[in-house]
Structures are given as structure tokens and as C-alpha cells.
Structure 1
Amino acid sequence: MSTQADALDVERIRGDFPILQREFDGTQLVYLDNAATTQTPEPVVETIVDYYRTYNANVHRGIHQLSQEASIAYEDAHDRVAEFIGASGGREEIVFTKNTTESMNLVAYAWGLAELGPGDEVVLTEMEHHASLVTWQQIAKRTGATCKYVPITDEGRLDMDAAAELITDDTKMVSVVHVSNTLGTINPVSELADLAHDHDAHIFVDGAQSVPNRPVDVEAIDADFLAFSGHKMAGPTGIGVLYGKKHLLETMEPYLYGGEMILKVTFDDATWNELPWKYEAGTPPICQGIALAAACDYLDDIGMERIERHEADLAAYAHDRLTEQDDVEVYGPPGDDRGGLVAFNVDGVHAHDLSSILNDSAVAIRAGDHCTQPLHDVLGTAASARASFYVYNTKAEIDKLVAAVDDARQLFA
């Protein structure tokens, strides 16, 4: 838990997010859907506006001044993101995509189609997001490979004994979510990386719910690939990141073909550009990439360790407030050992109905399967409500959530 000296100045931070002052029928917004998309602070918005007002141009295509300025800023953004996640290879190990899902597909198609075949195995977990599970499932069908799934325990953690048995010499890829977007489970990705590498397999870490809210060092966890999205970390939509070890990105074939990603083209063949442009075909997300670098600056100015502690404190508080109610089931590990989200159900109230009633109180949460349908099958429920927190949320907002849940309970009593 954070000490007072470490506590964030949340009110000052909230001042950077004017959207949080919105009111609906006179009630101020309580935004608790951050695992889906976080809000964007003024410094990042200003970066976007500055780009379009002062140096909007295509990159790597013009000698004129605007193109030069845009190119430099876009290239520097790759370096800044590399620094943010501890990638010492710099821009050559950072590919900009449009989201985590595209980053997953890039590796699955560029590496998976070439490397997987009958008898090969991809090991995933029961808590994978569809971006990972469906992608590898479909690639396995095309290549004849097999997908296996590490089960979860009753507490919502990975069964690591089962993982050790499932990861064998037939395993070619282990794809695992770092922090579950439904359970809040923080998975031991370094341990899984060791298991994978002991069998000469690669590991792909889904960092969509970890990179935004805790220090992540790709070299410390020894990830071969890692993906995340800008819109979940105070950045804009339309920008995702694929980190890959340089030697792997060098040997893989491109995923998309066209302009920018080529070095030389003839009527008979083509050769590929250097990293990372080899994987960024066409006009890339220029402004979004530059704004993502600004988001990295914003979060680092606050301090990723402090953000992690703040979210953990909120998650523990929400877990305690909800579990003290007899008719509420909360999914996942204990409140003091989870990421900054809580998925739950209230007896007799469907998650969608609950979300709608909370919306009437200006409390924004997520309801549904959260792109984890197979996990919800394991949990024995079709859907759940999910409250997720970020740097600008407060315990007072969680109290409003709990009060709104009580209102819903009364309606369905």
C-alpha cells in the first residue's frame, strides 16, 4: 500500500482531464471503464493539436521542411516508447501498429505461418483476451498446430504446475496476458518466459493491461514479443505497439506489403526496408505515435511505481467494499494482489442491467464478457460487470459505485 508521502495528488491530476468534469442530469461523471479506454490528458491533446496545426505531413516521403519535422518526431517517438518499456535496441525493436490486436496478428501471421506446423504447439491460458486466443487458434487451424491452455485455479491464478507440464519441446510459442482484463490476475510472466526458453520456445506477452499502469521492462521479463495499446495508457486511439527482439524481427517476413516497407522494387521482386519500417506499410499512425510518446512522458512524470501503488490501493478498496456484500461475487485473486480492476456480479441482476442502472447514476463501467468468453465459461457466467481504475480515480468514486450497486439491488428486489 502507498504511504502518504507516496500518494498521488489526484486532484491535480484530475485537472488535466476536463472530461471528468462532465455532468449528466446534474450528476458528475464517475469514469470506471479504464481497462477499455483511459481518458486523455491535456498535454497529450495539445501534442495532437500542435501536430495538425504546425507540422502535419507524411513521413519519410518528402524533402520539404514539414515532412522532415514530422519524420524526426515520428522516429523519436519509437525511441521514447522503447525507453518506456526498457528495450535497449531502441526504435529497431518498436513497431507501431493500430492496437494490441494488430500487433498479435502481425506476429501470428509473419512468424506463425512460417514457423508452425503439424505437431507444434502454442500454449495459452484460460484467461486470454480474444486478441490472443482467437488469433493463435486460427493460425493453428491453418498450420496444423495445436493450442493448449494453462488452467486457472479457484482463486483465479494460473496453475503453474500445469504450465510446467504443458510447455514441452513441442511448444513453439507461449502467449500469455500479463494482467488479466477480467480477473485482475498479475501473471508470473518471467517464470513463464523461463519455461518457454528452457524448451526453445518463444513467449508473447500481452501487455495491454500492464504497460499502462506499472513499470514493465521487456528485457527483465525476457519477453520475445510484447504488445500494448496507446488508448489504455492516456494516449490516443489508433496506435498500438509491438516490441520484438531485434533478431526475431529481422528474420520474420513482413505482414503487410506496400509503400514505406520496401527498399527496392522491380517488376519481378522486392526487398524490405530496415527495422522497424519493414513492418509499417503505407502511411503510418504519425500523429498517434507522436502523441503516444507524449503519453509516456506524462506517465513517467507522475511515476509508474506510484501509479501502480495507486491502482493497487483502489483495487483493494473496491474488492473489500464489494465482497462485504453477501449477494456480490467478485472474480479473481484477493484485493491486495491484483491489477486495477474488479469484475463482479450481483445475484439476481444481469451485468448489462446493472451497467444500465449505474449509467443512470453517471457511473460508467463495462458489462459483458470483456472479450474473454472462454474464461467466462470457466467461471460459469455469461457476463460480468467490471469497474477498472486509473491514475485519476478516487475511493470516493468507488463509494459512488457501491451506492449505485445498492440502488440496482433495490430495483430488482
Structure 2
Amino acid sequence: MDIKAVRDAFPILHQDVNGHPLVYLDSSATSQTPTPVIDKIDDYYKRYNSNVHRGVHTLGSVATDEYEGARDKVRSFINASNTKEIIFNRGTTTGINTVAESYGMDHVGEGDEIVITQMEHHSNLIPWQQLAKRKKATLKYIPMQEDGTLAMSDVKETITDKTKIVAVTHVSNVLGTINPIKEIAEVSHEKGAVLVVDGAQSAPHIKIDVQDLDCDFFAFSGHKMCGPTGIGVLYGKKELLENMEPVEFGGEMIDFVNLYDSTWKELPWKFEGGTPIIAGAIGLGAAIDYLQNLSMEEVEKHEEELIEYALEKLDAIDGVTVYGPRERAGLVTFNVDGVHPHDLATVLDAEGIAVRAGHHCAQPLMKWLGVNATARASFYLYNTTDEIDSFVEGLQKTKEYFGDVI
């Protein structure tokens, strides 16, 4: 992968922040957007801005073709078997809530079990927590190993014949743990449960094949994979989606409306009530084109090299605690002795280095780690080893500064 050509495609990277070249290490929160995606969205608003599906005029037809074309790009990107399995929405959070509100409300009852993990982002924890309360079901957690991974023996012990839903992140946004989704799906299905996967941190970074994973639902967000904000995808197996009720009602998702009853459109439109996120979907399609042209295998390889380099550099710094397994996705969550993560992030920002600090929407995991907060540096296809060197130098300066203060 030509890293210079990649970086040249991202206008935002070519600026100074606080008098220093920007080093953006917060892609797990939101990735940056390349010029081809920006241009595609700009083209929509300048040339064929119109609603989709409803009109027969030229602009509406072009917009509809582009919108539905983006759906097919998503289908190909995750290797879904049918475009009917691809639902556009606001993001991962909306996708998971849709499954909880529709499938969960109809299939979970009193005494049933919902199984998740302590490493879940709040978006894949709270919907199940609330569903369990409403349906008087039992919420169970698969225990984690000391390094933040899952053991299949624990998975098999936790999922039982009473389990209706298993919801697991593919990649932890804190630990970088890559969970064995295919194996978890097999155990879930053996017990008659469906598997919901939070793919927010995996879809941007590794090649996804939902048919091979055999997950029942897979949710992810465009803004973490070079696309615009406000657009996401819920994949669901066709036979499951066909038997689920929509959770938003109004225009676009209806077939016939009578005074006292209505019928819904077929998949996927029955889950896309109202004017859809047209520009966002078209922009996501362009982001997928960009990633496919680079190849997801190359993206994954590049990130593997970056995380290996970063861990080696961090190992050499005294007083730095890194959380999570050695084999991980392209992010590192850590603390520096004697320095609060927010102070650390503030000092790094003064050097033009953007990292995340806080609980990362994973408060139960912070409690499991025994900390209130951590700092996180996350890498993507446009980052370099030189930027990691700048990050490490910034950490050393932070240590020296707070050492002097103390």
C-alpha cells in the first residue's frame, strides 16, 4: 500500500494543530474522510439532490440508482447473500436497538437469557439490559480471561438452552480483542439462540464475510470507515428480518395505509421509515469503493505492522500500562503512572497529537480493569510509524512534565 498516496487523499491530515503537524490517532472514535468520498457527497448535492423511490423525474431516478447502488456495494463488502439483508440507518447504535426492539421484544420472554460480555460498548450493553428488564429475562455475562479475551469453554458454559440472544463485539474498542465470532455463532445456534455482532470496530479494519461468520445480525457505522457521519448498516439474515416488525413508522416504509390498519413494504425498506439518509448512504458507498480499491487485506496488514511497532515502543517506556491481549486490532489503550488520562491527552494535544481519553463508553469494562479511565491511541490506514514515534516522544515529554510538577 502506497502510504503517501493514501495520506494525500485525506485533506484534513495536511494541517498544523497547535503549531505542530497533526497526528490523528483517534480513528476508533471517528475516522477521517478521503477526497473521493467528499467529492461524491458534494456531487450529490450539486447535481442530483432529490428524494429517492418516490418520484419519476430524472433527479429522483439518479438519486435512487445511487442510493440503491450503495446498498449493493455494502452487500458485496460484507458478502451478504442479498441486498434485502442490508438496512441503512444512523449507525451501529440504531442497528443494535432495532434488533432489541423488534426481534428481542418478540422472542425474549420471562426466564429467558440474554448473553453478552463485559467488554461491550454501551451501545451493545444498554439495549439488552433494558430488554431484560422489560421482559423479566436474565442478563448473563461471558467471563473474560485475565488478558481480556474470551475462552470458548466459558462461552459454552454461559450459553444455555434458555439463551435467546447472544450479543458480542467483534473487536473491543478498548482492549483491541478480536473475538472468535464464527465459533461463538456455532455455539449460539446449537442452543437455539441468535448472534448479534457489534461490528463497529471490525468492518473498517478487517475483511468481513457475514456468511462465513454465520452471525444472524451485524451492525456497523460509516463514520469509522472513511465515510460520513450519520449513516450505518444493519445486516440481518433475510429469514429473520422478514418475520420482524419495523420499529419506525411513517412514510417510505408502508405499502398500503387504511384508516385502521396498514401494511409494510418488503425488505429492506420496511425498516427505513421516512426520508432515508441519502447523501450518507451514497458517501458510504464511495468509502467502500475507496477501501476496496486499496484492498481490506492491505489495510489489515498495514495496521498489524503499526500495532506491533507501537507495542514495541510502549514496552520500552517505564510506567506505561497497556491493557488487552498482545494479539489485537490496531488500537492501544493505556495509562501512564501518575498522570490522569485527560491530562495526558491535553498535553499530547498541545503537541498536535489527537488521542482519546475517558471510559470510551465502556464503564463496566473500566471497572473490570480497576481504573476510572484510560487513554487510547487508535490507528488506521493513513497512519505511519513516524507518527507513532511522535506519539511516543509526546508520552516521554508528558512523563517529564508531570515528573517535574510532582
| TM norm. shorter chain > 0.5 | yes
**Equivalents in 1 of 2:294, 2:205: separation in Å?**
11
Letter in 2 for 1:101: T
- Is 1:162 the counterpart of 2:154? The answer is yes
SS in 2 for 1:226: strand
Identity %: 54
What residue in structure 2 maps to residue 123 of structure 1? Answer: 115
Letter in 2 for 1:372: A
What residue in structure 2 maps to residue 60 of structure 1? Answer: 53
Counting only pairs closer than 5 Å after superposition, residues 321-336 of structure 1 correspond to structure 2 as 321-334=313-326
Decide which of 187, 196, 199 is 2:188's aligned counterpart.
196
Letter in 2 for 1:54: R
What residue in structure 2 maps to residue 45 of structure 1? Answer: 38
Letter in 1 for 2:124: S
SS in 1 for 2:241: helix
**Equivalents in 2 of 1:391, 1:124: separation in Å?**
30
Decide which of 344, 347, 371 is 1:357's aligned counterpart.
347
**Equivalents in 2 of 1:298, 1:183: separation in Å?**
27
**Equivalents in 1 of 2:76, 2:150: separation in Å?**
30
What residue in structure 2 maps to residue 409 of structure 1? Answer: 399
**Equivalents in 1 of 2:105, 2:2: separation in Å?**
48
What residue in structure 2 maps to residue 71 of structure 1? Answer: 64
**TM-superposed deviation, 1:72:** 1.2
Asked if the contact 2:114–2:137 (Cα under 8 Å) also holds between the matched residues in 1, the reply is yes
**Equivalents in 2 of 1:227, 1:44: separation in Å?**
21
SS in 1 for 2:234: strand
SS in 2 for 1:148: strand
Decide which of 283, 303, 326 is 1:311's aligned counterpart.
303
**Dislocated runs of 4+, deviation >6 Å:** none
What residue in structure 1 maps to residue 80 of structure 2? Answer: 87
SS in 1 for 2:233: strand
Q: TM-score, normalised by structure 1?
A: 0.97
- TM-align CA RMSD: 0.7
Asked if the contact 2:114–2:128 (Cα under 8 Å) also holds between the matched residues in 1, the reply is yes
Decide which of 233, 250, 253 is 2:225's aligned counterpart.
233
**Equivalents in 2 of 1:78, 1:25: separation in Å?**
40
- Is 1:345 the counterpart of 2:335? The answer is yes
Q: TM-score, normalised by structure 2?
A: 0.98
Aligned length: 403
**Equivalents in 1 of 2:19, 2:100: separation in Å?**
48
Counting only pairs closer than 5 Å after superposition, residues 128-167 of structure 1 correspond to structure 2 as 128-167=120-159
**TM-superposed deviation, 1:154:** 1.1
**Equivalents in 1 of 2:272, 2:261: separation in Å?**
19
- Is 1:247 the counterpart of 2:239? The answer is yes
- Is 1:391 the counterpart of 2:384? The answer is no
SS in 1 for 2:125: helix
Letter in 2 for 1:244: G
Decide which of 363, 372, 375 is 2:365's aligned counterpart.
375
Q: What whole-Å deviation, never above 9, does each CA across 1:272-325 have from its counterpart, x for those lacking one? A: 001100000000100100110111110010010110011111111111111222
